[in-house]
Amino acid sequence: MSAPSIGVVGAGAWGTALAQMLASDGREVMLWVLEPELADEINTRHTNSLFLPSAALAPTIRATSDLADTAGCELLLLVTPAQHLATTMGRMTTYPRDLVLCAKGIEASSGRMMHQVAAEAAPGSEIAVLSGPTFAHEVAAGLPTAVTLACGGGEAQWQRLATAIARPAFRPYYSDDLTGAEVGGAVKNVLAIACGVVEGLGLGQNARAALIARGYAEMQRFGEALGAQRATLAGLCGLGDLVLTCSSTSSRNFSLGVALGQGQDPKALMRERHTVAEGAHTAPILVELAQKHGVSMPIVESVGHLLEGAPALEVVSRILARPLTAEDQPSPLPERPAI
């Protein structure tokens, strides 16, 4: 059986890295690029100087700035930022049987998870979610990586996708829990901002370790309220991704938190960045959804305060002053104080 034709929609760092990984065995991969001049650079110089300058790209990656060119692909990986997924899919005229979602976030305008956005736009496709501890530059360099591949089409879809996506250094693990895979990726982005704040304030490794553990508890509570499986959140797309992005300045969300901890203005930081720190978009809607479902998420709420302009030390003092409780019991949902 011939390998399916594969396309990647979105040529940011992560989309470019995925295209590079998929082309590592000599396969032809189509890469949709928003900017025509960047598509030309990828095709002629085999570089992406804007988003992934460290990688020498495979010559079998063919870039295009015309979404219609993806119509012939049997499998598409959608890697546009979460807040632009609906718009991008709305511009597509046809969809393949298999769509793999690779962006991590929650649609800020609606509170929808990415698989809900995709299912509404492409009801005839089977949706999968690829998520896990993945720094783009390491995947592009061929370093060993393991991910969760949650398949809405169950094991039959997994059999199609695993053989198409797996490479010697890129190992997917099967799940059928789309919600769990997406909750892990979305919540960890917000928690990574919080861990960056700890770094920016110089609060030490003890504080960061505690924040990761307590943040993971928030992720579990929220995920279970939405129907996610606890085992999914304990895996690569939950705990694994959380540990990675809360520990390195290679994480855009972590580096945003560092800047916030150092007292920089959140609005100015967002204006100056050409790469997306998705946690900044996810935090406000995550706070709303947590309150809607009656889930206590004080760390996530604190990130929301920071992004609204609250001083970092004030926010940290507020969270340290919360009522004492058992480790496996969340504190009562607090009133949200005015900034």
How far are the Cα atoms of 51, 81, 83, 99, 118 from residue 87, in angstroms, in the given order? 21, 10, 8, 16, 11
Please state whether beta strands 75-78 and 6-9 pair in parallel, antiparallel, or not at all (unpaired): parallel
**Adjacent-strand bridge partners of 129:** 101, 150
Q: Compute the distance between CA of residue 291 and CA of residue 137 in angstroms, rounded to an integer.
A: 36
Taking only the tens of pLDDT, the chain with its 339 residues reads: 456 799 999 999 999 999 999 999 999 999 999 999 999 999 999 999 999 999 999 999 999 999 999 998 999 999 999 999 999 999 998 999 999 999 999 999 999 999 999 999 999 999 999 999 999 999 999 999 999 999 999 999 999 999 999 999 999 999 999 999 999 999 999 999 999 999 999 999 999 999 999 999 999 999 999 999 999 999 999 999 999 999 888 899 999 999 999 999 998 988 876 676 899 999 999 999 999 999 999 999 999 999 999 999 999 999 989 888 898 877 555 444 444
Contact 42, 61 (CB under 8 A): yes
| Alpha-carbon gap, residue 140 to 123, rounded angstroms | 32
**Close Cβ partners of 322 (under 8 Å, ≥ 6 residues apart):** 298, 331, 334
Q: Where are the alpha helices (DSSP H) in the chain?
A: 13-22, 36-45, 85-90, 114-121, 136-140, 154-165, 178-201, 205-225, 230-233, 241-245, 252-261, 266-272, 278-292, 298-307, 312-320
Radius of gyration of the chain (CA): 20
Cβ neighbours of residue 78 under 8 Å, at least 6 residues apart?
9, 10, 85, 88, 89, 99, 100, 101, 102, 103, 118
Write the single-letter amino acid at 33. Answer: V
Catalytic annotation, residues: 188
Q: Count of H helices and E strands in the chain?
A: 15, 8
Instruction: Work out whether strand 126-131 and strand 98-101 pair parallel, antiparallel, or are unpaired.
Output: parallel
**Cα–Cα distance, 227 to 120 (Å, whole number):** 19
Supply the pTM of this predicted model: 0.94
The three-class DSSP label of residue 270 is: helix
* Residue 304 near residue 189 (C-beta atoms within 8 A): no
Report the C-alpha gap between 3 and 260 in whole angstroms.
Answer: 46
